[in-house]
Amino acid sequence: MAAPETSTAAVPTLHTNNTVRNAFGGVLSFFILLLIGVLAFSIRLFSVIKYESVIHEFDPYFNYRVTQFLTKKGIYDFWNWFDDRTWYPLGRVIGGTVYPGLTLTAGTIWWLLNSLNIPLSVETVCVFTAPIFSAFASWATYLLTKEVKGAGAGLTAAVLLAMVPSYISRSVAGSYDNEAVAIFALIFTFYLYIKTLNTGSLFYATLNSIAYFYMVCSWGGYTFIINLIPMHVLLCIVTGRYSSRLYIAYAPLVVLGTLLAALVPVVGFNAVMTSEHFASFLVFIIIHVVAFVYYIKGILSPKMFKVAVTLVVSVGLAVCCAVIAVLIALVASSPTKGWSGRSLSLLDPTYASKYIPIIASVSEHQPPTWPSYFMDINVLAFLVPAGIIACFLPLTDASSFVVLYIATSVYFSGVMVRLMLVLAPAACITSGIALSEAFDALTGSIKFQLPGVSTDAEVDAGETSSDTTEAQNDEVKAEKPEETSKDRRSKKSKKKEREHVERPSAKAKVKTKAEKKRLLALPLEASAVSLLLLIVLGAFYVVHCVWAAAEAYSAPSIVLTSRSRDGLHVFDDFREAYSWLRHNTDVDDKVASWWDYGYQTTAMANRTVIVDNNTWNNTHIATVGTAMSSPEKAAWEIFHSLDVKYVLVVFGGLVGYPSDDINKFLWMVRIGGGVFPHIKEPDYLRDGQYRIDSQATPTMLNCLMYKLSYYRFVETDGKAYDKVRRTEIGKKYFKLTHFEEVFTTHHWMVRIYKLKAPKNRIRGKTKKSKSKTSSSSSSKTSGTKKKNPWH
Partner 1 sequence: MEAPIRATHILGFALFFLLFFVCRSSPLHDLLISSAERRIDLTSHIVKVYLTLKVENAGSSPTSEILLAFPPTQVDHLATVEALVTKGKRKKTTLVRLDVKPTELPDAPNGTKYFTIYLANPLNSGESTTLEVLYLFTHSLEPFPAEIGQSESQLVYYRDSALILSPYHIKQQTTFIKTPSTKVESFTRVEPTNRAGTEMKYGPYEDHPPYSSSPILIHFENNSPFPVVEELVREVEISHWGNLQVTEQYTLVHGGARHKGVFSRVEYQSRPTLSGTSSLRYLLARLPPRVHSVYYRDEIGNISSSHLRTDSRKSELEIEPRYPLFGGWKATFIIGYGLPLQDFLFESSDDRRYLNFTFGCPLLETVVDKLTVKVVLPEGSKDPSAVVPFPVEQHLETKYSYLDVVGRTVVVMEKKNLVPSHNSHFQVHYTFKPIFMLAEPLMLASAFFLFFVACVAYLHIDLSIRK
Q: Which residues bind partner 1 (CB under 8 A)?
A: 52, 54, 116-119, 487, 489-491, 493, 558-559, 570, 572, 575-576, 578-580, 582-584, 604, 712, 715-716, 740-746, 748
End-to-end CA separation in angstroms for the chain: 77
Q: Which is nearer to partner 1, 67 or 274 (CB)?
A: 67
Q: Is 652 helix (H, G, I), strand (E, B) or coil?
A: coil
- Rounded CA separation 187/190 (Å): 5
Q: Which is nearer to partner 1, 119 or 451 (CB)?
A: 119
Got the DSSP string for 304-324? HHHHHHHHHHHHHHHHHHHHH
User: Residue 386 corresponds to which amino acid?
Assistant: A
Measured from the CB atom, is 127 or 283 closer to partner 1?
Answer: 127
What is residue 752's three-state secondary structure? strand
Q: Which is nearer to partner 1, 378 or 601 (CB)?
A: 601
Q: Minimum Å distance from CB 712 to partner 1?
A: 5
Burial zone of 568 (CB within 10 Å; 0-12 exposed, 13-18 middle, 19+ buried): exposed
Distance (Å, whole) CA 475 – CA 6: 13
Ranges of beta strands (E only) in 435-579 are 560-564, 567-571
Pick the closer one to partner 1 by CB: 127 or 248: 127
* CB of residue 645 to partner 1, shortest distance in Å: 15
- Residue 200 C-beta: closest distance to partner 1, Å: 18
Nearer to partner 1, 174 or 257 (CB): 174
CB of 515 to partner 1, least distance (A): 40
CB of 118 to partner 1, least distance (A): 6
Burial of 615 (0-12, 13-18, 19+ CB in 10 A): middle
Measured from the CB atom, is 576 or 683 closer to partner 1?
A: 576
Q: 310 or 716: whose CB is closer to partner 1?
A: 716
Neighbours of 60 (CB within 10 A): 27
Tell me how many degrees the CA angle 133-139-142 measures, rounded to the nearest 5: 145
Instruction: Find all residues with CB under 8 Å of 663, minimum gap 6, and list them.
Output: 652, 724
Query: CA 543, 547, 553: angle at the middle one, nearest 5?
Result: 140
Smallest gap from Cβ 713 to partner 1, in A, equals 8
CB neighbours (10 Å) of residue 607? 22
Q: How far is the CB of 60 from partner 1 (least distance, A)?
A: 13
Least spacing, CB of residue 159 vs partner 1, in Å:
25
Minimum CB separation of residue 661 from partner 1 in Å reads 17
What DSSP state is assigned to residue 586?
-
CA pair distance 596, 668, nearest whole angstrom: 11
Note the helical H segments in 334-391: 341-347, 351-355, 357-360, 370-377, 380-391
The distance of Cα 114 from the centroid of its chain, to the nearest Å, equals: 30
In whole angstroms, give the CA distance from residue 709 to residue 654: 10
- Min dist. Cβ of residue 54 to partner 1 (A): 4
Closest approach, Cβ 517 to partner 1, in A, equals 36
Helix residue spans in 559-660 (DSSP H): 573-584, 598-600, 618-629, 632-641
Q: Based on CB atoms, which residue is closest to partner 1, 57 or 463? A: 57
Q: Which is nearer to partner 1, 579 or 788 (CB)?
A: 579
Q: Which is nearer to partner 1, 21 or 582 (CB)?
A: 582
Task: Name which of 186 and 750 has its Cβ closer to partner 1.
Answer: 750
CA distance linking residue 333 with residue 40, whole number of Å:
48
Q: Rounded to the nearest whole angstrom, what is the least distance from the CB of residue 715 to partner 1 in the complex?
A: 5
Query: 777 in helix, strand or coil?
Result: coil
Rg (CA), the chain: 31
The Cα 298–Cα 300 span in angstroms is 6
- The smaller minimum CB distance to partner 1, of residues 551 and 715, is found at 715
How buried is 517 (Cβ within 10 angstroms: 0-12 exposed, 13-18 middle, 19+ buried)? buried
Nearest by Cα to 726 from 648, 663, 650, 661: 663
In the bound state with partner 1, the residue whose beta carbon lies nearer, of 118 and 319, is 118
Nearest one of 193, 157, 59, 18 to 598, comparing CA atoms: 59
Other Cβ atoms less than 10 A from the Cβ of 667: the count is 19
Per 3-state DSSP, what percentage of the chain is helix, strand, and coil (rounded to 5)? Answer: 70, 5, 25
Of 54 and 522, which has the nearer Cβ to partner 1? 54
Reply yes or no: is the peptide bond before residue 425 cis, omega within 30 of 0: no
For partner 1, the closer of residues 46 and 351 by Cβ is 46
Question: Among residues 15 and 756, whose Cβ is nearest to partner 1?
Answer: 756
Q: Please, which residues have CB within 8 angstroms of residue 117's CB and are 6 or more apart in sequence?
A: none
Of the candidates 463, 470, 471, 468, the residue with the CA atom closest to the CA atom of residue 447 = 463
- Where is 152: in which H helix or E strand? helix 151-162
Q: Dihedrals φ, ψ of 57, to 5°? A: 50, -145
CB of 362 to partner 1, least distance (A): 24
Shortest distance (Å) from residue 589 CB to partner 1: 15
